[in-house]
Amino acid sequence: MNKNELAKLLKEHHKDAFLWASHCCHYSQEEGKEVLQRTYLKIVEKKAVYKEKATFKTWLFSVIRFTAIDYLKKKKAYESLEKVKIGVEDTPFEIHTIDYKKLLKQLPERQHQVLLLAFYHEMTLAEIATITQLHIGTIRTHYERGKEAMRTLVLKENV
């Protein structure tokens, strides 16, 4: 793959890559920027090379994930979570505010990652298996258990 093709693909996936880097850094946009920059450096310096075994996005997300893991191991700092408001403000009934990021953080790390990739980044379970380097059956298990755990946590929040 030549530099122009690589640059085009990186530009095409930049927004999703930044969101994934931020998610990998516990929702910190500043750390996400740092991780994404380090990822791009790895790619430019050919420390990470796309071998076309998976889709480019899947490969890129995998590189970002491992870069974030290394970065956070060195940094050991986490940002606070933001609240997500659900509901219509002009309605006469009570509006529930559910902090979905907080609920996601209560899940085991693998379930958290699988749900983020599946729902926020619209990836298939096979693509997630490639990114996380886990067997597809393991990913299915984390996906199903994560959905059930989130359902339970949301129901507890609404009580």
Confidence of residue 94 (pLDDT cuts 50, 70, 90): low
Judge whether residue 35 has pLDDT over 90: yes
Does 1 score more than 80 pLDDT? no
| Positive or negative torsion for Cα 44, 46, 47, 53 | positive
Rounded to 10°, the helix 125-132/136-157 angle is 110
pTM: 0.58
Element at 116 (helix H, strand E): none
| pLDDT at residue 92 greater than cutoff 70 | no
91 pLDDT band, cuts 50/70/90, is very low
Res. 79: pLDDT tops 80: no
CB atoms within 10 A of CB 15: 9
The pair of three-digit structure tokens given for residue 111, joined into one six-digit string: 């379930």
